[in-house]
Structure 1
Amino acid sequence: MRTLDLDQLRAFVMAADLRSFTAAGTCLGATQSAISLRIARLEERTGRRLMARTPRSVGLTPDGTRLLGHARAILAAHDRAIAEMTGGAARSTIRLAVSDHAAGSHLATALASLRLALPLLAPDVVVGLSTTMRDAYDRGEADAAVVRQESGRRDGTVLFADPLAWAAAPNLDWDGGEPVPLVALHGACGVKTASTRALDGAGLPWRYAFLGGSVSALQAAVRAGLGVGVFGRRHLPEGCMPLDTGLPSLSTGNVVLHCRLDGEMRRVLAAAFRGAGGASRRSDDGP
């Protein structure tokens, strides 16, 4: 009778979520080759090819897609059993302050990675502006913060570079002779400051066409054709393209981790958010 190995299933789910053997290995404390070997052995056990691997991409085959739901259920049942048998003694809470511009729609991928790497972790997460999240961390209200850093402060662990880009929907009714209709967040925002400074430096007039309270609200406004938004290239709204002509170039900021925790927790946090950022930009693992 064939049995499925939990470590192999965990590697498979992590690689499927992150679309990268390297990122999966970082989250699980293993090398890229070790993750590849675990998945290869899982394929041997199932007698099915589960992942399509090329030098430029990692994806699921139809058999891999069918197995993924079962794999998640098996791991969840295992982790619940461990939690119940230990009486929840091993469960821990971590307070996370996460910038919307740093994580945005990729927060789910990072949290999934955390769950797989530390199944008994109970994250307590708040999301907001980078300055607000960094201030919360400085006041001791968060154990760790993941924020976007444009300029000035240079501490923290750099997770990845995130270049800014102008974005607009194809139905935007605007020509270059009018003030740039800017879509931006309420309040003090490093991305908003970078965009207005770039426009002022280029001598281009601009106006606020929409102010919102979240990156998802800005994405919706840009998709609706209300104006031009500025996002990290990982967060370009669906159906919208970067505007590479007619507007000034923008800076490349860093997404950084501030963390007062040491050891395994710091490593796993960095890997989870770095992996989510990397998975959104590329799939770089071959066989």
Structure 2
Amino acid sequence: MKTLDLELLRSLVAIDEQDSFAGAAVQLGKTQSAVTQQMQRLEDQIGHALFEKQGRSKRLTPHGQKLLEYARHLLAINDDALRSLQQGSLEGVLRIGAPHDVADNLLPTLLAQVARVSPLLQLDIHVGRSPFLMESLKRGEIDMSISNRNDPGLDGVVLRTSPTVWLCSANYVHDRSKPVPLILVEGPSVYHRLAREALDAAGIAWSPNYTASSLIGIKAALRAGLGVTARGIETAGPELRVLGENDGLPRLPDLDYYLFIRRNVINPVTRKVFDMLKANLGLIRSAADPVSPAGRAGSMPGD
């Protein structure tokens, strides 16, 4: 049985990330011809073509796509092993925060990665609203936080881009002839702002029917059929349904979820864990990168 060359796999991943052989060459510090030769060697190893021409560029074949998935896993295991052996197991306490709406889907992936690489590290988990978590991060009360609000004063990477949707009870009957009965959260909220701006821009009347201090209260009001709210798709569940343009409601912009740490963090454990998560999860888009696609929310107060 042949053994795959990890350096060749790393070049394959770089080509996919940079969307070109030339970009991969720059990232890897190689010439474009060297990267091309590497891919030829990799094709010889697996006995299949990895790329096919599409106009003036190349795209991955089905075999190339399949190998790319394996490459990411193999490189993650390799990098984890080297990092663990070279740095040793991290010890101490890492305080990490997450908003309620992604605490049960985004946060577990991060926790599992940290526990796998640094089993001796104690994790102190804080779940709350995004603006308050960000203030805690800046005050040094937590070391790292997931948030749906961008902050140029912090170091961050994009974890995921998530659709924002209109939610209501599964049994709720939407009446277009009446003002939209909004269920809102108290205080600063990106969803509150997105809902109001979208409705106002579309010339749709609305009324603040219910206000809650937390996501639990929002969900209770939704299940009771008290109105409609704008939330991330993660909030949707079996007792709720999504309203859309067919129901007369405007499209809402997508939201980025970020992982942040303080820029001048003192604790070396925090920086090592942050860098490890970026590498293992393939997080390449920085929070500082410009965001211009239509339909995505910009920097604003988060929920």
Please give the range of the TM-score, normalised by the shorter of the 2 chains: 0.5 to 0.7
Partner of 1:169: 169
- Whether 1:252 aligns to 2:254 is yes
Aligned-partner Cα distance in 2 for 1:184–1:274: 35
Q: 1:198–1:258: structure 2 CA closer, same or farther, 3 Å change rule?
A: same
RMSD: 3.7
Post-superposition CA distance 1:173-231 (Å, at most 9, x none): 43111111112222111111111111122121212233223324323332332221212
Q: How many residues align?
A: 198
Post-superposition CA distance 1:4-51 (Å, at most 9, x none): xxxxxxxxxxxxxxxxxxxxxx9xxx94453999xxxxxxxxxxxxxx
Query: Secondary structure, in 3 states, of the residue corresponding to 2:104?
Result: helix
Query: Secondary structure, in 3 states, of the residue corresponding to 1:156?
Result: strand
Which protein is bigger by CA-based radius of gyration? Answer: 2
Q: What displacement does 1:148 show?
A: 0.3
Tell me, yes or no, if the aligned pair for 2:90 and 2:118 is still in contact at 8 Å: no
Tell me, yes or no, if the aligned pair for 1:223 and 1:237 is still in contact at 8 Å: no
Paired residue type of 1:267: D
Tell me, yes or no, if the aligned pair for 1:220 and 1:237 is still in contact at 8 Å: no
Aligned-partner Cα distance in 1 for 2:218–2:178: 21
Tell me, yes or no, if the aligned pair for 2:76 and 2:280 is still in contact at 8 Å: no
Query: Secondary structure, in 3 states, of the residue corresponding to 1:142?
Result: coil
Aligned-partner Cα distance in 2 for 1:150–1:205: 29
Partner of 2:294: none
Q: 1:183–1:118: structure 2 CA closer, same or farther, 3 Å change rule?
A: farther
- Whether 1:34 aligns to 2:36 is no
Partner of 1:81: none
Partner of 2:115: 115
Tell me, yes or no, if the aligned pair for 1:180 and 1:207 is still in contact at 8 Å: yes
- Unpaired segments of 5 or more residues in structure 1? 1-25, 38-88, 276-287
Aligned-partner Cα distance in 1 for 2:155–2:91: 30
Post-superposition CA distance 1:152-189 (Å, at most 9, x none): 98962111211211112231143111111112222111
Post-superposition CA distance 1:40-94 (Å, at most 9, x none): xxxxxxxxxxxxxxxxxxxxxxxxxxxxxxxxxxxxxxxxxxxxxxxxx963211
- Unpaired segments of 5 or more residues in structure 2? 1-68, 78-88, 284-303
Partner of 1:267: 275
Aligned-partner Cα distance in 2 for 1:271–1:178: 50
Aligned-partner Cα distance in 2 for 1:270–1:113: 11
Tell me, yes or no, if the aligned pair for 1:104 and 1:215 is still in contact at 8 Å: no
Q: TM-score, normalised by structure 2?
A: 0.55
Tell me, yes or no, if the aligned pair for 1:97 and 1:126 is still in contact at 8 Å: yes
Q: 1:274–1:130: structure 2 CA closer, same or farther, 3 Å change rule?
A: farther
Identical positions, percent: 28
Q: What displacement does 1:233 show?
A: 1.6
Q: TM-score, normalised by structure 1?
A: 0.57
Partner of 1:220: 220
Q: What displacement does 1:270 show?
A: 4.8
Partner of 1:146: 146
Partner of 2:99: 99
Q: Which has the higher contact order (CA 8 A, sep 6+)?
A: 1
**1:1-287 alignment to 2 at 5 Å?**
31-34=71-74, 91-101=91-101, 103-106=102-105, 107-149=107-149, 156-245=156-245, 246-260=248-262, 264-270=272-278
Q: What displacement does 1:145 show?
A: 1.6
Aligned-partner Cα distance in 2 for 1:94–1:154: 17
